[in-house]
Amino acid sequence: MTYQNTLSFANEMDEKDPLKKYRNSFLFPTFTDKPVVYFTGNSLGLQPVKAKEYILQELEDWAKYGVEGHFHAKNPWMPYHELLTDKTAKIVGAKPEEVVVTHSLTTNLHLLMVSFYRPTSKRYKILCEAKAFPSDQYALQSQVKFHGYEPNDALIQIAPREGEHTVRMEDVKSIIEKHQDEIALVMIGGVNYYTGQLWDMKSITEWGHQAGAIVGFDLAHAAGNIHLKLNEWGVDFAAWCGYKYLNSSPGGVSGLYVNERHLKNKELHRFAGWWGQEKETRFLMEETFKPIETAEAWQLSNAPVLGMAVHRASLDIFDEVGMEAICKKRDLLTGFLEFVVDDISERYDNVNFEIITPRDVAQRGAQLSILLHGKGKSLFDFISKEGVVADWREPNVIRIAPAPLYNNFEDVYRFGQILEKSLKAL
């Protein structure tokens, strides 16, 4: 693709974009003085227009039926989460029985580690990313301590080489090989939240399994962004949140995946709750727990229907569009952003924008992380006043994520114009 940093090029691309109509399926923020350029779909996705209607349906049925809504609501609440299963399975490349929408992300990571981090005196270490998202770090440290180990000893953290920003997959392979008798679990973010690097989940799963370890991924930045094939890759477990690329409301419901090979294993340890109990016997209130033979067994509580209603509104759009089309536009749009940022960086002497996200499209999704050499927070504050909603990370990185479902090429062009304006002003 040959890009041009012009409005006419951007408009031409938008005209040709098969997903252009979906921009109108989302509500863009109105709080900025200038028209908004929303580039934080990796942090909180925009509200689907239909979300309100889907929630209202449940509020009305609650008013009309009270408790009977569990069975008589238009979408009965008892099996409400089942309405989300097939669509979720398609997004992450799983079989329907391998996924369930439930709880929140960190909760799910803990519940999955209860089942899949089973250290022994010889094999007790977890391979994870250095500087993982803080919640993941706390979850990993506390899991390790819970089993009586020291995080400093039990967590093997893989970092970029000196002077580099992203991790080389060959280094992941050699670390796994080096510690192959000690690693119980490989637990990595599919897309690193800071650099936007997409890890080679297929190979990591293979290497982990060769070493005799379990392999799980945190897909917070990957679900709805990357064309995932969890079942085909043989990943053991994964979890993600619904509110980033999946646009399902602040703190919205999470999804989890467990590979089919584990679903009938009665020996698995788990923290159980009644919603994980076999459906036929759930209301007999029996004393012994009989887990459902699907990922639903990891559910603890009855489902938060209002949050799930929003999730449905969003998943309906994903289902209509499909991940293939989303990823195709994603690469064009992110490529255009890369071109515009490079173009500006070359033309201005007072700044150097270093894109620390991989240049290789096979190693990234919709996010570019830009290291601002020669400029800092003042540039970020300037562009924010001009209507750009982006994300600032200390010491001087801006994370920008054009979401293919609702961002367009003109957004990227306007972002470039605002960047140039800031460079002239500062």
Ligand X SMILES: *Cc1c(COP(=O)(O)O)cnc(C)c1O
Q: How far apart are CA 110 and CA 305, in angstroms?
A: 22
Size of the site for ligand X (CB under 6 A): 12
DSSP structure class, residue 284 = G
- Least separation, in Å, of the C-beta of 402 and ligand X? 18
Minimum CB distance to ligand X, residue 309 (Å): 18
If one asks whether residue 369 binds ligand X (CB under 6 A), the answer comes out as no
Residue 238 pairs in a beta bridge with 217, 257
- How far apart are the C-alpha atoms of 172 and 127, rounded to whole Å? 9
Q: Is 132 left (phi over 0), alpha (psi -120 to 50) or beta?
A: beta
Provide the minimum distance between the beta carbon of 30 and ligand X in the complex, in angstroms, as a whole number: 25
DSSP letter at 197 equals: B
> Using CB under 6 A, which of the segments 91-99, 131-139, 208-216, 302-310 binds ligand X?
131-139
Does the footprint of ligand X cover residue 104 (CB under 6 A)?
A: yes
Structure tokens at 234: 């043989």
C-alpha 290, offset from chain centre: 31
Site string for ligand X, 207-236 (x = CB under 6 A): -----------x-xx---------------
When binding is defined by CB under 6 A, the residue of 185, 241, 341, 372 that contacts ligand X is: 241
128 scored as a contact of ligand X (CB under 6 A): no
Instruction: List the strands of the sheet with 125-129, edge to edge.
Output: 99-101, 254-258, 237-241, 214-218, 183-189, 125-129, 155-158
Q: Which amino acid is at 415?
A: F
CA 365 to chain centre: 11
Query: Using CB under 6 A, which of 135, 302, 384, 396 touches ligand X?
Result: 135
Site mask for ligand X (CB under 6 A), range 165-194, x = bound: ------------------------x---x-
φ, ψ for residue 306 (rounded to 5)?
-65, -45
Question: Min. distance of Cβ 403 from ligand X in angstroms?
Answer: 15
Question: Whose CA is closest to 105, among 241, 256, 294, 281?
Answer: 241
Residue 34 Cα distances to 25, 137, 385, angstroms = 21, 38, 8
CB of 108 to ligand X, least distance (A): 8
How many residues in the chain?
426
- Output the smallest distance, CB 102 to ligand X, in A: 13
Nearer to ligand X, 105 or 332 (CB): 105
Measured from the CB of residue 190, what is the shortest distance to ligand X in angstroms? 9
Greatest distance between any 2 Cα atoms in the chain: 73
DSSP state string for 36-57: PEE-BTTTSPPEETTHHHHHHH
Nearest residue (CB) to ligand X, 238 versus 418: 238
Q: Does 136 bind ligand X (CB under 6 A)?
A: yes
- Closer to ligand X by CB, 61 or 136: give it: 136
Only one of the segments 72-80, 98-106, 200-208, 320-328 lies at the binding site for ligand X (rule: CB under 6 A); that segment is 98-106
Closer Cβ to ligand X, 106 or 334, answer by number:
106
CB of 115 to ligand X, least distance (A): 18
What does the binding site for ligand X look like in residue numbers (CB under 6 A)?
104-106, 133, 135-136, 189, 193, 218, 220-221, 241
